[in-house]
Structure 1
Amino acid sequence: MAENRNEVLVIRVARSGGVAGISRTGILELHAQHPVHEQEASWLRIARDALDELRSLEEAKAPSLVRDAFTWSLSIDGEDHCVPDTLLTGPARTLAEHVIALPRRP
């Protein structure tokens, strides 16, 4: 994850439209080394846990058996993961749902 003192950790999330065809996207930027407030520090911890979880999913990835289900694409600090909705759990789901719920930037 971002190592430079002033570096920003960028988290990008996209959820495919599923059966309804409505896609959602979001971006969250966090100060990697010096979080501005405790809430930001909490999201950094969740992002680290999410990365661990996503890496383990990549190793044991099985195809989704659910037709027309959502597919999640997560990029955390430039590391990309694509996960079917049925496999997105724990910190990765918490982070993904938070990011797509954020107000969109102009």
Structure 2
Amino acid sequence: MNELFIVRVQRSGGVAGISRAGVLELHVHDSPPEDEPWVRLANGALEQLRRLDTDDGAGQVRDAFNWFLSIDGEDHRVPDTLLTGPARQLAEHVIRTAR
């Protein structure tokens, strides 16, 4: 049985007002070879986002992008300046493949 791991990403429009969104569905069990690196990256991104403290307003820049990531039903809002590492790599991949 395949369990889906769903990654939803939305990036706010920033100064230009152009928003982007995308969804990536990954098979966790018996995943095809092309899904395996993305499943690992999604798990790493989720661990990173759980450690990130965005409640204090750090990284907030006026008119900058804000990212909304939902990884396996867990939601995170991150200012562009704080989105780094595996979370950024995953978010940009999801946005890029949605076009």
Q: Distance in 2 between matches of 1:81 and 1:50?
A: 11
Is 2:43 aligned against 1:48? yes
Q: Percent identity?
A: 61
Q: Distance in 2 between matches of 1:65 and 1:8?
A: 33
Match of 1:23 among 19, 25, 34: 19
Q: Which residue of 2 aligns with 1:80?
A: 75
Is 2:7 aligned against 1:6? no
Match of 2:90 among 87, 95, 104: 95
Please state which structure has a larger fraction of its residues in helix: 1
TM-score, normalization by structure 2: 0.92
Q: Distance in 1 between matches of 2:43 and 2:4?
A: 14
Match of 1:36 among 32, 35, 51: 32
Q: Distance in 2 between matches of 1:14 and 1:65?
A: 17
**Displacement after TM superposition at 1:33 (Å):** 1.1
**Displacement after TM superposition at 1:68 (Å):** 0.4
Q: List, as ranges, runs of 4+ consecutive aligned residues in structure 1 with deviation greater than 4 Å.
A: none
TM-score, normalization by structure 1: 0.86
User: Cα RMSD over matched residues?
Assistant: 1.1
Q: Which runs of 5+ in 1 are unaligned?
A: none
Q: Which runs of 5+ in 2 are unaligned?
A: none
Matched residue of 1:19: which SS?
Answer: coil
May I ask how many residue pairs the two structures share in their alignment? 97
**Displacement after TM superposition at 1:103 (Å):** 3.6
Matched residue of 1:14: which SS?
Answer: strand
